[in-house]
Structures are given as C-alpha cells and as structure tokens.
C-alpha cells in the first residue's frame, strides 16, 4: 500500500505545530490531527526562550512572536506580606551573532495561534476532533486508525510522530514506558484571570513561603494575568473562582486583591517523567509525550519545540531517501539526554521556590537577588548542546564554538554586493558549508564544491565562530554545528557519508 502522506503528527500543541511547519516548508506532505474539538485555551507554557525564538526565525514567525510577547524585566518577591526583593533586569542587547538573547513571555494559546496561521500559509491545517485509535507498522510505513465524527478511517503514512502530551495515546499504543514520579502533595491552581491589586501592573509578583508559592504574571497587552497558587498537601480543592480567591488571599496575606472571572482554570499536579525510548520503528515521540516537567524554568514547551526542530530535518531526508542508515536513531541519542537535563533543571527550579522556614526570613533579602540572577542567566543560555552526540565532529582545537553548539548568526557580502544572513542560509533543506579562507573570505556552499565566495569585511563572522583560515564549518539544517574541520582534510566527506550515506 502506498503512503497517502509522508508523516502523520498526532497532537497540535507547540511541538506538533512546529514539526508540521518545519516538514511542510521542506516539501514533505504531512497530516496533523488533535483529539480536542478546537484550539486549546489557557496560557500554560508562558516563556519562549532564545533558542526557541531562533527556531521560530527559521519558520518565519519570530517577528510575529516578538511583536505579541513581552519581556519580564520587573520582578517583585514577597514572603507573606513582606516585600523582600524588587528589581528590574536590563534586556540584553542583540548582537550580529546572537539576535535573540533574552526569553520573552507569551501565553501558549497565542504561540499556538501564530504557528497555526503559519501552517495555513504553508498550505496545511489542523484536523481537530480526530483521535488516533490504533496503529500498525511494517517495513514500509505505518497504518493509522483515526476516529472522527463517529466514524473510523485509516491513513497510510511513511512515519508517525506522537506529540500528544503526557497522556500520549501514541506512547501507549507503542508500549513505551514512562517512568518517573507523581507527587500528589505538590499541586497548584492555574488560572487566566483579571487581577486587580498588586502594583505595578507590569511586574511579575511572586510570593514565597514554606512549601508553598504563588505567582501573578501579567499577559502582554491585556488586563489578564496568569495566576499560579499552590495547594496545601491533603487539601481538597475544586477549581473555582471562589477557591482561587481564597488561596490568593491566604498566600498573599492581603484582602485587597480582586479577581475577575477566569477564562481558564485548571489543577496542576507535579509530574516528572521521561519515556524509556523516543522511537519505535517508524513511530516517534516528541514534546510532553516523551517528557513532562515541573513548570519552573519554562522547559516543557521549549524542550518540545527543540525536539521538533531536531527531528524535522532528519525525517525530511529519510522521506526523500537521502538519509544514511542510522540517521533517525540520532534523534533519540541527541534529544533524550536533553530531555533528562530539562527534567533535572525544572526539578531544581521547583526546589528553589520552596524557601527556608520563617526564622530565616531576614536572610532571604540577601539570597533572592543572586538566586534570581543565576536563574535569569540560565534562562538566556537555554539551548541544549550535542557536544557528545553522534553527529558532532570537532577536528580543530581552540574554536569559539564547538561542534554540537547552535551556529551563530551573521552577515556576509556576495561579490554582487548583496548581504546574506547566515540564519537564512541555515533554513535550506541541506547542510550548509562555511569554508573560511584568507583575506576575510568565506566560501558558502551546500556541502559541495559549488557555491559562492563572500566577503566578511570585518571578520565578524569568523570571529563569531572563532576559527582560523583553512577551516570548514558544516551547519546542520536545524542550525546546529555538525563539523569543524580542516578544509582540505578527510573529515568532510566522511561526515557526509555519516549523515547522507554518500559524499555526493
């Protein structure tokens, strides 16, 4: 049976939408389904990190995201009714090689809406109200059974990707374990609601306490805020505006905070889980289907977007028959360690929010500032690296960046005087070769002798990479550096064989 589409994506959250946009822009036919009757509500994943903005740049939506988002630069921290810290952080100035230095805040429903609009521009749309009920694999593809509108149908695809959340149907049908822990004593109410009382309006307000916390995070350009308030162990709570108001008053120690009617209200339970495998035959897991975290550190959505970015170009090569044997195995080899690191980081973030007992309150004023500075630094430096990954080859010493790092941005000048941006070069379907010569020259190609020799007038691009003349850098289609090696050495053809199965 021939495939009716190249890839079926199950789940239309940020991970599934990113993957769909990436595949379609590479000329791959895909279908994306979601069991929900329509787009999800709720701010949920609120932070968009720098490396995610770089991925959105490749999808041509970074500008739209930044226009809708806000930078959380003002923070006020309380212990009970005492204000123990207030501060504003200065935004980091963008540079030629780092155009997106800071995270921004945007409700997840808005991020999803932007990605859906981009997918529609590319000619594909989400099929809501459609559930995956079964899948069968063979050597040539996957037959998926889909239930929609009271009827069942089958769809034949070359590959299937489960982006369907922590309760993933795909993961369960594949029989992949999801070990970890759930702590019922760590719960919180999450709400999108108008909040009146805490001032100033542009600040994020954070209340700390022993084994409890509360945060009020304003939406960009709206009166609504995201409210997160912890629930005491053993306490029975029904998600309602009355219960939310009671908890807000209890945690803040204030009776002047007024709440409107929530547009979204949910109970969050602490889960920390990582799938045993990210692949089974022609089926893959990505996003929350593969890993679930605590909400601290904004790792969940961002890690899922990075999963999609890593998997997309590899699937595209495999669909076209241009992938070396084993290329698809590198998805799990690179992304599962990244998922584990994100789980550990988010768990540490949760622990840092649980402050010392009341008797230590006086020293908190001195501890909070340095702690938040470290957290902000980690938020900026959010990208995973694949230094030890199977597709990273560092054959040159003493470079500013390493194989496995995200490739810097920059601008080169063609012989005709046109300016070309490196991020635009990385968007292509293949690998990008940058061969650094003398006299500020950089030969730009697609990993073949064909290409164009450009000028790097002030050596800013070479400085961003930190390489000497006679060095070639090979950048993967996801914007990561795969190879740094001598231009005349044997490493380049060997690397192409590793990725493409051929040096051609």
DSSP string, 166-186: TT-HHHHHHT----EEEEEEE
Q: Using the structure block, give the residue that is written with the tokens 């609601």.
A: 193
DSSP string, 10-25: E--SHHHHHHHHHHHH
Interhelix angle for 299-319 vs 50-58, to 10°?
Answer: 30
Highest mean pLDDT: which range of 53-67, 259-273, 436-450: 53-67
Calpha distance 355→370 (Å, rounded): 14
Kindly report the pTM of this predicted structure.
0.93
pLDDT of residue 1: 43
Q: What is the pLDDT of residues 449-464, one digit of tens each?
A: 568 999 998 899 999 9
Q: Using the structure block, give the residue that is written with the tokens 């034949």.
A: 156
E strand segments, 179-313: 180-196, 204-209, 212-218, 224-231, 258-259, 264-274, 279-280, 283-285, 291-292
Q: What is the pLDDT of residues 61-116, one digit of tens each?
A: 999 999 999 987 889 999 888 888 888 888 889 998 899 999 999 999 999 999 99
Q: Label residue 375 by pLDDT band (50, 70, 90).
A: low
pLDDT of residue 88: 85
Q: What is the pLDDT of residues 321-367, one digit of tens each?
A: 999 999 999 999 999 999 998 888 777 666 555 544 444 445 555 55
Report H helices in 262-390.
299-319, 329-353, 361-380
Q: What is the DSSP letter of 226?
A: E
Tell me the CATH number of domain 5-67+103-179+272-356, given options 3.50.50.60, 3.40.50.620, 3.40.50.1820, 3.40.30.10: 3.50.50.60
Q: What is the DSSP letter of 448?
A: S
pLDDT of residue 80: 80
Query: Domain-by-domain residue ranges, the chain?
Result: 5-67+103-179+272-356, 393-500
User: What is each CA distance from 234 to 16, 184, 231, in whole angstroms?
Assistant: 36, 8, 8
Q: What is the pLDDT of residues 404-438, one digit of tens each?
A: 999 999 999 999 999 999 999 998 888 999 999 99
Whether pLDDT at 448 is above 60: no
Nearest Cα residue to 130 out of 47, 21, 11, 247: 11
pLDDT of residue 334: 97
Nearest Cα residue to 265 out of 245, 282, 293, 251: 245
Whether pLDDT at 11 is above 70: yes
Residues 341, 384 contacting (CB under 8 angstroms): yes
pLDDT of residue 384: 79
Calpha distance 201→180 (Å, rounded): 38
User: What is each CA distance from 346 to 120, 121, 303, 389, in whole angstroms?
Assistant: 33, 35, 11, 23
pLDDT of residue 46: 86
Whether pLDDT at 128 is above 70: yes
Please give the backbone phi and psi of residue 361, each rounded to the nearest 5 degrees, phi first: -55, -40
Calpha distance 76→54 (Å, rounded): 29
Average pLDDT over residues 202-222: 86
Least confident span in 12-16, 166-170, 290-294, 311-315: 290-294
Q: Which class does domain 393-500 fall in?
A: alpha beta
Mean pLDDT (the chain, rounded): 89
CA 34, 38, 42, 48 torsion-angle sign? positive
Report H helices in 452-504.
460-465, 491-500
Q: What is the pLDDT of residues 472-488, one digit of tens each?
A: 999 999 999 999 999 99
């Amino acid at each position: 049976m021939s495939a009716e589409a190249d890839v079926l994506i199950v789940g239309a959250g940020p991970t599934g939408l990113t993957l769909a946009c990436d595949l379609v822009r590479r000329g791959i036919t895909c279908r994306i389904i979601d069991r929900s009757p329509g787009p999800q509500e709720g701010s949920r994943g609120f932070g968009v990190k720098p490396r995610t903005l770089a991925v959105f740049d490749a999808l041509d939506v970074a500008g739209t995201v930044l226009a809708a988002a806000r930078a959380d630069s003002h923070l006020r921290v309380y212990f009970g009714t005492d204000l123990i810290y207030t501060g504003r952080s200065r935004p980091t100035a963008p540079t030629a090689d780092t155009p997106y230095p800071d995270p921004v805040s945007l409700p997840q429903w808005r991020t999803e809406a932007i990605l859906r609009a981009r997918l529609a521009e590319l000619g594909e749309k989400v099929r809501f109200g459609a559930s995956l009920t079964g899948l069968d694999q063979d050597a040539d593809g996957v037959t998926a059974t889909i239930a929609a509108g009271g009827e069942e149908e089958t769809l034949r695809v070359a590959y299937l990707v489960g982006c369907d959340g922590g309760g993933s149907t795909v993961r369960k049908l594949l029989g992949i374990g999801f070990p970890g822990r759930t702590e019922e004593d760590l719960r919180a109410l999450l709400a999108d609601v108008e909040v009146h009382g805490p001032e100033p309006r542009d600040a994020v307000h954070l209340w700390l306490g022993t084994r409890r916390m509360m945060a009020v995070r304003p939406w960009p350009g709206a009166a609504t805020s995201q409210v997160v308030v912890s629930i005491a162990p053993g306490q029975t709570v029904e998600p309602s505006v009355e219960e939310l108001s009671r908890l807000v008053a209890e945690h803040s120690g204030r009776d002047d905070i007024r709440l409107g009617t929530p547009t979204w209200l949910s109970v969050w339970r602490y889960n920390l889980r990582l799938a045993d495998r990210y692949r089974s035959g022609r089926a893959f897991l990505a996003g929350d289907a593969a890993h679930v975290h605590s909400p601290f550190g904004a790792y969940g959505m961002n890690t899922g977007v990075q999963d999609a970015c890593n998997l997309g170009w590899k699937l595209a090569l495999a669909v076209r028959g241009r992938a070396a044997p084993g290329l698809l195995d590198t998805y799990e080899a690179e992304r599962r360690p990244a998922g584990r690191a994100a789980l550990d980081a988010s768990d540490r973030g949760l622990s840092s929010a649980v402050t010392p007992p009341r008797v230590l309150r006086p020293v908190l004023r001195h501890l909070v500032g340095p702690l938040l500075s470290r957290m902000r630094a980690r938020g900026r430096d959010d990208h995973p690296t694949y230094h030890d990954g199977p597709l990273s080859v560092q054959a040159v010493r003493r470079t500013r960046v390493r194989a496995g790092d995200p490739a810097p941005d920059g601008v080169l000048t063609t012989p005709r005087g046109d300016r070309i941006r490196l991020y635009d070069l990385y968007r292509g379907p293949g690998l990008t070769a940058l061969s650094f010569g003398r006299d500020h020259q950089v030969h730009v190609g697609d990993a073949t002798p064909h290409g164009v020799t450009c000028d790097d007038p002030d050596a800013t691009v070479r400085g961003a990479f930190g390489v000497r003349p006679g060095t070639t850098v090979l950048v993967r289609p996801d914007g990561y550096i795969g190879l740094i090696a001598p231009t005349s050495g044997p490493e380049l053809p060997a690397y192409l064989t590793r990725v493409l199965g051929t040096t051609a």
